[in-house]
A and B are shown apart, each in its own frame.
Chain A
Amino acid sequence: MHLTYLRLQQFRNYPHLDLQLHPRLNIFVGNNAQGKTNIVEAVYFLSEGHSFRTSTAADLLQWGEDRAQIGTELMRDDLMDEIAVEVLASRRNFFRNGKKVRNIPELTTVLFAPEALRLTKEGPSERRQFLDHLLGQLYPSYRVALRRYTQALLNHNRLLRNEEMTYGDMARQLDGWKTQLIDLGAELTVLRSQGVADINRHLPEAYGAISKQEAPLRLQYLPRYGAEEALLGKDVVVGCLAKAFHDRRDDEMRRRTTLVGPHRDDLAAHIGNKEVRHFASQGEHRSVVLALKRCEIRLLEEVLGHPPILLLDDVASELDPSRNHAYFSQLLAHTGQVFISAVSAEDVDLPETQEARWFSVSSGQIDFLKK
Chain B
Amino acid sequence: MPTNPIDRLTHAFSKLPGIGEKSAARLAFHVFKGDPKIAEELAQALLAIKCTTALCAHCFGITADDVCTICSDDRRNRQTICVVEEPKDMAAIEKTRAFQGIYHVLHGVLSPLDGVGPSDLRIAELVNRLEASPAVEIILATNPTVEGEATSHYIADILRPRGMRITRLASGIPMGAFLEYTDQQTLALAINRRREL
Interface residues, chain A, CB within 8 Å of chain B? 140-141, 144-145, 148, 151-152, 154-156, 158-159, 162, 172-173, 175-177, 179-180
Contacts and interface: CB of A to CB of B under 8 A. Distances in A.
Contacts of A180: 146, 149-150, 153
21 contacts: A141-B188, A145-B185, A148-B146, A151-B146, A155-B110, A155-B111, A155-B146, A155-B147, A155-B150, A156-B112, A158-B113, A172-B154, A172-B157, A173-B117, A176-B149, A177-B146, A179-B150, A179-B153, A180-B149, A180-B150, A180-B153
Interface of B: 110-113, 117-118, 146-147, 149-154, 157-158, 183-185, 188
A370 B118 CA distance: 70
B152 A176 contact: yes
Contacts of B149: 176, 179-180
A345 B37 CA distance: 76
A364 B157 CA distance: 63
Q: Which of B151, B158, B184 neighbours the largest number of chain A CB atoms within 10 Å of its CB? A: B184
Nearest to A184: B146
B113 A155 contact: yes
Contacts of A176: 110, 149-154, 157
Contacts of B146: 148, 151-152, 155, 177, 180
A176 B112 CA distance: 12
Contacts of B157: 172, 175-176
A155 to B, nearest CB: 5
Residues of B contacting A: mostly: helix
B111 A175 contact: no
Contacts of B150: 152, 155, 176-177, 179-180
A180 B152 CA distance: 12
A151 B118 CA distance: 18
Contacts of A158: 112-113
A140 to B, nearest CB: 4
B149 to A, nearest CB: 6
A144 B183 CA distance: 10
Contacts of A173: 110, 112, 117-118, 154
Most buried by A among B110, B150, B183: B150
Contacts of B112: 155-156, 158-159, 162, 173
A144 B154 contact: no
A154 B151 CA distance: 15
Contacts of B147: 151, 155
B144 to A, nearest CB: 10
Nearest to B189: A141
B143 to A, nearest CB: 13
A176 B153 CA distance: 5
Most interface-central of A141, A162, A176 (chain B CB within 10 A): A176
Given A162-B112, A173-B117, 7 more contacts: A141-B184, A155-B113, A159-B112, A173-B154, A176-B149, A177-B150, A180-B150
B101 to A, nearest CB: 24
A105 B158 CA distance: 43
A88 to B, nearest CB: 15
Given A152-B150, A162-B112, A175-B154, A141 B118 contact: no
Nearest to A148: B146
Find the residue from A144, A155, A158 having the highest chain B CB count within 10 A.
A155
A278 to B, nearest CB: 38
A318 B111 CA distance: 47
B108 to A, nearest CB: 14
A158 to B, nearest CB: 4
B148 to A, nearest CB: 10
B147 to A, nearest CB: 7
A93 to B, nearest CB: 14
Contacts of A156: 112
A309 to B, nearest CB: 23
Nearest to A139: B184
A175 B112 CA distance: 13
A158 B11 CA distance: 37
Contacts of A179: 149-150, 153
Contact of A154 (B113, B117, B158, B188): B113
A144 B62 CA distance: 34
A310 to B, nearest CB: 26
Contacts of A175: 153-154, 157
A158 B115 CA distance: 9
A322 to B, nearest CB: 44
A144 B154 CA distance: 23
Contact of A140 (B110, B117, B154, B184): B184
A177 B110 CA distance: 10
